[in-house]
């Protein structure tokens, strides 16, 4: 896992990059939906599927944006952009 942070035009961008299995475009579209575990409901992976939904709301309350870029087999980059204080 890699963590990066850098300035953007009007704030900061924070990225968390992993080398996991990656996500299809379909799963990326569902990623921030509350209680959607993307098919992992019966797996050993714990959780309720609300973490990213909560993160999105907290970022939006700070007038920021959150997202992901990924492709199957290539890992994922999760990012948050927040305006300067």
pLDDT tens string 11-47: 999 999 999 888 888 887 878 777 655 545 555 555 5
State the pLDDT at residue 26.
86
Considering only 35-39, 46-50, 54-58, which range has the smallest mean pLDDT?
35-39
Share the mean pLDDT of the chain.
85
Query: Which class for 76: exposed (0-12), middle (13-18), buried (19 or more C-beta within 10 A)?
Result: buried
State the pLDDT at residue 83.
97
């Amino acid at each position: 896992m890699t963590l990066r942070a850098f300035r953007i035009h009007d704030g900061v961008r924070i990225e968390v990059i992993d080398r996991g299995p990656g996500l299809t475009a379909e799963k990326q579209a569902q990623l921030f939906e509350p209680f959607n575990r993307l098919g992992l409901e019966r797996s050993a992976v714990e959780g309720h599927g609300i973490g990213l939904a909560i993160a999105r709301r907290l970022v939006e309350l700070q007038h920021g944006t959150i997202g992901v870029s990924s492709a199957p087999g290539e890992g994922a980059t999760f990012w948050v952009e927040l305006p300067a204080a």
